[in-house]
A and B are shown apart, each in its own frame.
Chain A
Amino acid sequence: MRLLTHNMLACNVKGVVNGYPLRLEAEVVAERPADFNADFLRHIFARIDWKAFVGAARSLPEEHAVADLPEDAEPSMLASEDFLRRFHHALLELHVEKGALVCPETGRRFAIDKGIPNMLLNEDEV
């Protein structure tokens, strides 16, 4: 699961109001190079929840944690190749292979195994 997917997921348990962003508890992270596409990054920038994205990127285990992205981002930063490279790396090249997503409201845990988050609900959660 890449951080771009994490950025879209909210807790899906019935009745939860503030189920976003899911707290990321990554145990195993893999890095896989992806083609750099500046146009795509500019296209997606406005649709990313930046705060959730940076929060997830900084929470990764030490050797993968992304510390060099700003807390707040402005569209003007998209002119910088250096910024785009860092944005690209965190968004598309880091894959959480094992860990969990945790609902900020209820603490409900969604396990991530083999890179796949398990968002299946129990009968009483639908």
Chain B
Amino acid sequence: MKLKQLEGLLGELQQFSAPKVELEQYPTGPHIASRLIHTAENTFGDITGKIVADFGCGCGTLGIASALLDAEHVVGVDVDPGSLEIASENAEQLEVSIDLVWCDIRNLSWKGKCIDTVVMNPPFGTRRKGVDMEFLSMALQVASGAVYSLHKTSTREHVKKAALQSFNAATAEVLCELRFDVPQMYKFHKKKEVDVAVDLWRFLPQSVSRAC
């Protein structure tokens, strides 16, 4: 599937109807989501035929994009039941099948390393400090193939250090810098729309036993 086609399909998805600021619910826009998933597949072959987990899936954009690129099995995880309901409707609308689990990423207990690839747009940790790193830590624990994630460009050095030193990643690489449009969604947003520079990262976990 071509990038533009994927972006177009993702543009049809419903987004948060009543976003919760404490969860930093910002929709992953079709522009960024399509580039993340398209790059993961076309450059690295990490989506098609793989088992993909979408952490903090929200309305399911990244997981559904993975399913559209023929991931064999997709599991979306989110702590907010309202988002999961929208994700479920979104998947149905685009006629893809994804599994959803209602769980706090911090309390995830998954056996072995069944997951090939984790894709995520984690909370940036501006409301609750460190939550972005909790997502990354868990992603590197469950993925046997690769982790794709978005983090604010301003935190680049911190992310790299945490991934390599604290979470035992084998590699941590910024693939490109993207603009994340933050629309005026919450009352504390003073400007109409803000562009935030974000990095698209690819992390590789240490190769470990694949037994699951």
A34 contacts the other chain (Cβ, under 8 Å)? yes
The stretch among B5-13, B103-111, B154-162, B164-172 that forms the contact with chain A is: B103-111
Q: Which one of B93-101, B119-127, B128-136, B182-190 is at the A interface? A: B93-101
Interface residues contributed by chain B, number (CB under 8 Å): 29
Q: Which residues of chain B are within 8 angstroms of A79 by Cβ–Cβ distance?
A: none
Contacting pair A120 B73 (CB below 8 A):
no
A119 B107 Cβ-Cβ under 8 A: yes
A56 within 8 A of B: no
Q: A117-B102, A120-B104 are in contact. Are A47 and B212 (CB under 8 A)?
A: yes
Whole-angstrom CA separation of A123 from B73 in the bound complex: 31
Main SS class of interface, A? loop
Binary flags per residue of A30-53, CB closer than 8 Å to B gives 1, else 0: 001010010110011011110000
User: Chain A 1-21 against B: per-residue CB contact (8 Å), 1 yes, 0 no?
Assistant: 110110111111000000110
Closest Cβ neighbor of B115 among chain A residues: A8
B110, closest chain A residue (CB): A8
Known: A2-B73, A120-B102. A47 touches B107 (CB 8 A): no
- Is residue B112 within 8 Å, beta carbon to beta carbon, of the partner chain? yes
Q: Is the CB of B108 within 8 A of A37?
A: no
A117 to B88 alpha-carbon distance, docked (Å): 13
**From A91, which residue of chain B is reached at the shortest CB distance?**
B73
Q: What chain A residues lie within 8 Å of B88 (beta carbons)?
A: 114-116
Residues of A within 8 A of B99 (CB): 1-2, 4-5, 115
B51 within 8 Å of A by Cβ?
yes
Residue in contact with A119 in the complex, picked from B85, B103, B212, CB distance below 8 Å: B103
Complex CA gap A10/B110 in Å reads 6
| B49 at interface, CB cutoff 8 A | yes
Please state if B107 and A19 are interface contacts (CB–CB under 8 Å): no
B18 touches A (CB below 8 Å): no
Q: Does B112 contact A46, Cβ atoms closer than 8 Å?
A: no
Q: Decide yes or no whether B193 CB sits under 8 A from chain A.
A: no
- A1 to B110: give the CA distance in the assembly, Å: 15
Enumerate 9 A-B pairs (CB-CB under 8 Å) in ascending A order.
A1-B99, A40-B72, A47-B114, A49-B111, A92-B73, A95-B97, A116-B100, A119-B102, A121-B107
5 smallest CB-CB distances across A and B, nearest first, come from A12-B109, A47-B212, A119-B103, A5-B99, A10-B109
